[in-house]
Chain A
């Protein structure tokens, strides 16, 4: 049992114990990193935080095309819709994501403790991005030329909120393979929630991420494809196999690039096991992972998670076999010691 003594244990020992399934050491490892990170921005966050009650309430702020967050509160939980359709969509989609995590996994908002869900819309001018900053989401309107209205896209909203969920469950660091896994989990829940929102089957779904935020002028159909990584647009360099793994330094060592490899494994698994079984397996795996987990750790953890869920009768008996096959198909193979 790992108690407060864990704080004097070196991180590499904590990591090894976490890999062997010691959940309290994993929690200590993740909490220690999070506390260290939080110290750096604590004052800023304290100054920004206005809502002390935590019920997973939604707050939509209009940035009024400035580069400031929380310029004007325009919708809050239970409030009426307004003329601004982007605001209404951001309210609806963030609620759908919150309710999905609650209903599917019993997770009470992003952090499991009812963290309020704060969305900033109309951020900047021609701002082609959406991000999670550790506390809240921020969405640009796009330049209207290649990108448009990030806040109205269910998969974008789910992707960003899932970054929050990851932060509180496993706190995967944002570089190299742990970072690619961080992006992977956001794409996983982005596509799962999109399919639920659109009431699609896995066969009907397009498995695209960000298809509704690109315009007709954009040279492609979406930002990413989980079914066929590397094919969503002219700039899409995502690999779908470890043979084409990106080893460069750009993009925090390829967090948006190498995520294509586990993304493809997720797609292959879903086509065999269905969306709900895979979503449960991936969610429980996210809870079991730790800050520095790499692709091989992911495989070991997901197989152990699937085995447990199978024994409990919660997922298909074929889960372990299908997952092994899917990860093997993208070149992530168990290392036998």
Chain B
């Protein structure tokens, strides 16, 4: 799986990008794709200094992308981000 995850906004306002390849088990990959496709993009209009999360995933000929807010980002994708950003 190829991935590109961009984090923007937040208190610092400093954007951060993670990209590369990762070996993800088929079951986890299906869950990730499900979350990307089912994104409700729920937002909180009163949120200040919240981050935005842009996910782009490519597997074979398929590509999936979605933009999440602090509120809408599912825990499973936060964990994936954590896993990719801090592999150890």
Contact = CB atoms under 8 A, between A and B. Distances in A.
Interface of A: 37-38, 40-41, 67, 124-126, 128-135, 143, 147, 150, 156, 159-160, 163, 167, 174, 182, 186, 210, 223, 233, 235, 250-252, 255-257
19 contacts: A67-B78, A126-B86, A129-B49, A130-B49, A131-B50, A132-B48, A133-B46, A133-B47, A134-B44, A134-B46, A134-B47, A150-B11, A156-B11, A163-B48, A174-B45, A174-B48, A233-B14, A235-B15, A255-B13
Main secondary structure of the interface of B (DSSP, over half): loop
A64 to B, nearest CB: 14
B85 A37 contact: no
A41 B11 contact: no
B23 interface: no
**Interface of chain A, main secondary structure:** mixed
Nearest to B71: A133
Given A41-B44, A128-B12, 14 more contacts: A41-B45, A125-B82, A128-B10, A130-B49, A132-B46, A132-B49, A135-B46, A150-B11, A160-B48, A174-B47, A174-B48, A235-B14, A235-B15, A250-B15
A139 to B, nearest CB: 9
Interface in B1-41: 8-16
Interface in B55-88: 70-71, 75, 78, 82, 85-86
Contacts of A143: 86
Contacts of B85: 126
Contacts of A131: 10-11, 47-51, 70
Interface of B: 8-16, 44-51, 70-71, 75, 78, 82, 85-86
A129 B14 contact: no
Nearest to A41: B44
A26 to B, nearest CB: 19
A67 B75 contact: yes
Contacts of A159: 11, 49
Contacts of A235: 14-15
B68 to A, nearest CB: 12
Contacts of B13: 223, 251, 255-257
Contacts of A167: 46, 48
A133 B82 CA distance: 22
Contacts of B75: 67
Contacts of B48: 131-133, 160, 163, 167, 174, 182, 186
Contacts of B82: 125-126
Contact of A223 (B8, B12, B44, B51): B12
Contact of B12 (A126, A135, A210, A250): A210
B7 to A, nearest CB: 8
A335 B45 CA distance: 32
A37 B16 CA distance: 29
Contacts of B86: 125-126, 143
A209 to B, nearest CB: 9
Contacts of A250: 8, 15
